[in-house]
């Protein structure tokens, strides 16, 4: 098993839910990235999603967009993030997932990017603007480097498309819980529970809910329907406000959901 599979198996063997925090690489400088990854591992995160700053992000809400602009102002690049991950990999054992868009990958060169990601110890890749109909431009390279493509499903996806994406998936299936961009939400669509239960039934791999989740209560609520959660905007906000105890509370909430 790869690191992602091992991490989810350990979590499920302990009857816990997975918690994957999202952080923006370079927000506050790349030294912050190193320190944040080490902190999140110590807190019990299942894996970490690392965002690459990009000038035109289509899936990111205001908090993540602002973090990306701060990171770009610090001079953060895809190459420098991969280099930082490679430096950290000997002391960080949990899975690390890159979230980026196709433009930075094209600029890097698809084969060169995937090879660099593999060398760095990247375990997974999320590309929100890459539909399944076009993913063959990168899949063969990912297979060679054993980097998993984490696919997204949305509330507006048909049952047939949900099933197709789930059957292709490896690592985990990212279930988007809002019809819009990322960002803190006070409440969710009334159909979210049924949507997550349907995905959980269709998917041979773990299903994680993401977008909008920002409180321990929401972590517990979503965890009743699937295998865990991804939390981004709130994690960025709490790091920026230096409220690390609140980050720990979010992660711990995933460990006490009754099965």
| Residues 50-63: tens digit of each pLDDT | 999 998 877 677 89
The pLDDT assigned to 233 comes to: 92
Q: Is 60 a catalytic residue?
A: yes
Using pLDDT thresholds of 50, 70 and 90, give the confidence band for residue 188: low
Q: What is the CA radius of gyration of the chain?
A: 17
Average pLDDT over residues 141-170: 92
Using pLDDT thresholds of 50, 70 and 90, give the confidence band for residue 180: very low
Using pLDDT thresholds of 50, 70 and 90, give the confidence band for residue 185: very low
User: What digits encode the pLDDT tens for the residues 72-110?
Assistant: 999 999 999 999 999 999 999 999 999 999 999 999 999
Dist CA 102 CA 195 (whole Å): 28
The pLDDT assigned to 179 comes to: 61
The pLDDT assigned to 248 comes to: 97
Q: Show the tokens assigned to 150.
A: 């984490």
Would you say residue 182 has pLDDT above 70?
A: no
Contact 156, 178 (CB under 8 A): no
The pLDDT assigned to 61 comes to: 79
Any idea which residue has 């047939």 for tokens? 160
The pLDDT assigned to 156 comes to: 86
Would you say residue 119 has pLDDT above 70?
A: yes
CATH class of 3-253: alpha beta
Using pLDDT thresholds of 50, 70 and 90, give the confidence band for residue 189: low
Dist CA 177 CA 28 (whole Å): 29
Would you say residue 219 has pLDDT above 80?
A: yes
The pLDDT assigned to 190 comes to: 64
| Contacting residues for 91 by C-beta, under 8 A, at least 6 apart | 38
pTM for the complete prediction? Answer: 0.93
Q: Is 49 a catalytic residue?
A: yes
Dist CA 256 CA 82 (whole Å): 34
CB-CB neighbours of 256 under 10 Å: 12
CB-CB neighbours of 73 under 10 Å: 11
The pLDDT assigned to 255 comes to: 86
Catalytic residue among 16, 27, 60, 148, which? 60
Residue 153: C-alpha distances to residues 112, 124, 126, 139, 165 (Å)? 28, 16, 12, 18, 7
Contact 83, 120 (CB under 8 A): yes
Q: Which residue ranges make up each domain of the chain? A: 3-253
Catalytic residue among 16, 27, 41, 49, which? 49
Mean pLDDT of all residues in the chain? 91
């Amino acid at each position: 098993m790869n690191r992602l599979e091992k991490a989810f198996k350990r979590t499920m063997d302990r009857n816990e839910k997975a918690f994957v925090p999202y952080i923006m690489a370079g927000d506050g400088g790349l030294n912050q990235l190193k320190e944040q990854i080490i902190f999140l591992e110590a807190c019990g995160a299942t894996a970490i999603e690392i965002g690459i700053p990009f000038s035109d992000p289509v899936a990111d809400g205001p908090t993540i967009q602002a973090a990306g602009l701060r990171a770009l102002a610090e001079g953060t690049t895809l190459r420098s993030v991969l280099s930082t991950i490679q430096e950290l990999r000997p002391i960080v054992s949990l899975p690390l997932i890159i979230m980026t868009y196709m433009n930075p990958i094209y600029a890097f060169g698809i084969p060169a990017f995937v090879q660099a990601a593999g060398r760095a110890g990247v375990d997974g890749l999320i590309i929100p603007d890459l539909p399944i109909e076009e993913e063959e431009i990168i899949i063969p390279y990912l297979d060679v480097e054993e980097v998993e493509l984490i696919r997204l499903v949305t509330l507006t996806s048909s049952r047939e498309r949900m099933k197709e994406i789930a059957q292709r998936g490896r690592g985990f299936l990212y279930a988007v819980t809002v019809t819009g961009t990322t960002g803190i939400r006070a409440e969710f669509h009334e159909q979210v529970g049924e949507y997550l239960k349907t995905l959980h039934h269709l998917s041979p791999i773990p299903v994680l809910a993401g977008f909008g989740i920002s409180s321990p209560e929401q972590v517990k609520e979503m965890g009743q329907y699937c295998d865990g959660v991804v939390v981004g905007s709130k994690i960025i906000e709490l790091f920026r406000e230096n409220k690390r105890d609140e980050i720990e509370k979010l992660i711990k909430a995933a460990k006490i959901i009754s099965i």
